Amino acid sequence: MAMFDKLLANLKASKKTIVFTEGTDARILSAADRLLKEDLMGVILCGAPDDVRKAAADGGFNVDKAEIIDPLAYDGSEEMVKTMAELRKGKMTEDECRDLLKKSNYFGTMLVKMGKADALLGGATYSTADTVRPALQIVKTKKGSSLVSSSFILFREKDGKEETIAMGDCAINLSYSDKLDKEGNVVQTAAQQLGEVAVETARTAAFFGIDPKVAVLSFSTYGSGKGGTVQLSHDAVIEARKIDPELVIDGEFQFDAAVSAEVAKTKCPDSKVAGQANTFIFPLIEAGNIGYKIAQRLGGYEAYGPILQGLNAPINDLSRGCNADEVYKMAIITAGMA
Ligand SMILES: CC(C)(COP(=O)(O)OP(=O)(O)OC[C@H]1O[C@@H](n2cnc3c(N)ncnc32)[C@H](O)[C@@H]1OP(=O)(O)O)[C@@H](O)C(=O)NCCC(=O)NCCS
């Protein structure tokens, strides 16, 4: 698949180290075995060494070249506690950090923060919230970003052609509302946030070889409907254009107007995006999460993600229903982004 070529080239150009938070999970061990055999990246497995080795032996996986680190018996644990408490100053005490660092989601995130690993992949057993929260609290947003969001990259082969599309944010931000300061003044509008998600999703799409044509979705096309989040989707287009005037973006669109040239001809004939969109922005997580799963289950697309965007380091989440092949591919994506 073309989109993996660039990532593999990145990995070959400079070897990265990935930390897996669930080091005893058979799917993680199977993927780690394959990644090590192919010499694609260094691997850190979190867990008690005896437990990890037993699970690997039980599954017939060779992870001899992986570094196994037990969060409960880590040599540098006091330094890690102090660093985390400093980062969480005023929000967590040293004791709270010490407790949290016994869990591999926080521990693994601190390995990335402290430069011991370049990337993290978790969520084979942790929920999305438990995988993402430590990253939000410790790694935080990268310079120039005000929020973390996510994309799914969806891929299928149809009629001998590769089709790749992007969807965001289907996994992180529950909804968008104006952010207020202590005096109640609006410091960032909901539309500015969704506009930023659109720009970040387009950047992720471009990273995966898509030439992004971004549609901000709704149940309305160019004001045909009122209420709900119609205004939000409409205003997000304006805000995204302010952030990146070069971005090819339009909306608000119903999904059919976004993808069907026929429908676009009737509903919005002058749009440069309608009828040919390949990057889709959802105004609410419900629509996004349901939407990408429909594409995956009924549309025959393979779904990769959620790929976090706006974070200061590559940290990604797995679906708890993932298989070993998906872990392997997400590891390539995650380390390849480092
Ligand atoms: C991501 C998520 C876990 C964050 O929720 P939370 O932990 O309750 O968040 P909080 O509001 O307590 O914030 C925790 C910290 O993260 C930060 N944060 C929360 N959301 C953020 C975002 N989108 N971008 C950047 N920072 C964010 C907060 O500012 C806060 O930082 P601070 O502690 O330094 O002040 C939550 O939005 C969520 O559950 N999303 C849906 C996940 C899911 O189930 N997806 C579907 C499966 S794919």
CA of 141 to the centre of ligand 1 (A): 12
CA of 142 relative to ligand 1 center, distance in Å: 15
Question: Using CA positions, which residue lies closest to atom 45 of ligand 1?
Answer: 171
Tell me the H-state helices in the chain.
2-13, 26-37, 49-59, 77-87, 94-100, 104-113, 128-134, 190-207, 230-243, 255-259, 261-267, 285-297, 324-336
pLDDT score for 5: 84
Q: Which overall architecture, per CATH, does domain 149-302 show?
A: 3-Layer(aba) Sandwich (3.40)
The pairing of beta strand 249-253 with beta strand 302-309: unpaired
145 lines ligand 1 (CB under 6 A): no
Mutate to test the pocket of ligand 1, among 127, 133, 143 (most ligand atoms within 8 A of CB): 133
Residue 174 Cβ contacting ligand 1 at under 6 Å: yes
- Judge whether 2-140+312-336 and 149-302 match in fold: yes
Distance 312 CA to ligand 1 centre (A): 15
Round to whole Å and give the CA distance between 316 and 309.
9
In this structure, the number of other CB atoms found within 10 A of the CB of residue 54 comes to 12
Q: How far is the CA of 48 from the centre of ligand 1 (A)?
A: 29
Task: Give the amino acid at 185.
Answer: N
Could you give the strand order of the β-sheet that contains 119-122, starting from the edge strand earlier in sequence?
67-69, 42-46, 17-20, 119-122, 315-317
Which residue owns the Cα nearest ligand 1 atom 48? 171
Residue 211: predicted pLDDT: 96
Domain coordinates of the chain in residue numbers? 2-140+312-336, 149-302
Assigned CATH topology for domain 2-140+312-336? Rossmann fold (3.40.50)
177 CA from centroid of ligand 1 (Å): 14
User: Best of 84, 136, 139, 188 to mutate for ligand 1, by most ligand atoms within 8 A of CB?
Assistant: 136
Q: What is the reported pTM? A: 0.93
Gap from CA of 300 to ligand 1 centroid (Å): 31
Per-residue pLDDT for the chain (338 aa), expressed as one digit of tens each? 677 888 888 898 899 999 999 999 999 999 999 999 999 999 999 999 999 999 999 999 999 999 999 999 999 999 999 999 999 998 999 999 999 999 999 999 999 999 999 999 999 999 999 999 999 999 999 999 999 999 999 999 999 998 999 999 999 999 899 999 999 999 999 999 999 999 999 999 999 999 999 999 999 999 999 999 999 999 999 999 999 999 999 999 999 999 999 999 999 999 999 999 999 999 999 999 999 999 999 999 999 999 999 999 999 999 888 999 999 999 999 999 89
pLDDT score of 1: 65
* Burial profile 287-321: b = 16 or more Cβ within 10 angstroms, e = fewer: bbbebbeebeeeeebbbbbbbbbbbbbbbbbbeee
